[in-house]
Structure 1
Amino acid sequence: MAERLVTIATFNELTEAHILKGRLEAEGILCFLGDEHIVGVHPFYSVAVGGVKLKVTEGDVMEAKAILARIQEGSSQFDYDSIDMAPPVQEQPRSLVCPNCGSDNVGELGIPMPFMSRRYTCYNCSHAWKERK
């Protein structure tokens, strides 16, 4: 059975709602914004529709309210140790050499396309070839 969504906060400003939604999501809480589009398009309608509503599932209400309370009192600390901040490892490009003359003065022809084999040319002997995988 699906859990019911509960409104835990309302905002007149869409930006503030998105910031706090992002913070709750960073803490692992599934949340949604209600009426965000109507307030985004017509900000003066915010009061008429009751503002932007930050909603969480019933099971996360207490934890989400506690996080919002910590943020409002300014004592909220995010656990950056739980996030992997290491940059992705990039493969080193292998050095290309011309199969004709052995020179490393080579370049790629055209625009590289991931689904096509690459074509190279040697600037010393003008030999052109396709990459073999």
Structure 2
Amino acid sequence: MDKIVVFKVFYNPIEANIVKSRLIDAGIQCFLSDEHTITLNPLYTQALGGVKLHLFQRDAAMAGSILEETIPAIEESGEGDGEYVCPNCGSHHVGYVQATKKRFSILTMFVSILFMVTRLM
């Protein structure tokens, strides 16, 4: 019977779930403990020792190598400014989603102030 070990400890349940999903996608069976308790009350993080990622001892070396891999997200062009490239297909038509783009303008500021003034009345 294979031994189950604590492979890694996280203080953020979201980060723990991202790593868990990456390992499951690679075919490594794993699970988290203390995740729900820390999600409900983050002050218990220190008392419980964080969210623990468990897996079989035989998969520990492979999991470590998978987590060390980095996916190149930016390909350097000749001018020195980066261009985003899809790691799966190599497409150069990749960009940030709408919410992360800078959308500040004078019109946005004016409309925001207008709504604030009408709300105060």
| TM-score normalized with structure 1 length | 0.51
Give the structure 2 partner of residue 52 of structure 1.
51
State how 1:26-65 maps to structure 2 within 5 Å: 26-65=25-64
Gaps of 5+ in 2: 73-86, 90-121
Shift of 1:80: 5.6
The CA RMSD measured in Å over matched residues stands at: 1.9
Shift of 1:76: 3.8
Give the structure 1 partner of residue 67 of structure 2.
68
Shift of 1:68: 1.6
Q: Which has the higher contact order (CA 8 A, sep 6+)?
A: 2
Runs of 4+ in 1 over 3 A off after TM superposition: none
Higher Rg: 1
Give the structure 2 partner of residue 18 of structure 1.
17
- Greater helix fraction, Structure 1 or Structure 2: 2
Per-residue CA distance 1:39-80 (angstroms, 9 max, x = gap): 11111111111100111101101001111222xxxx247x96
- Secondary structure class of the residue paired with 1:66: helix
| TM-score normalized with structure 2 length | 0.56
Shift of 1:34: 1.3
Give me the whole-angstrom Cα distance separating, in 1, the residues matched to 2:63 and 2:22: 10
Gaps of 5+ in 1: 82-133
Give me the whole-angstrom Cα distance separating, in 2, the residues matched to 1:38 and 1:46: 9
The amino acid of 2:22's aligned partner reads: R
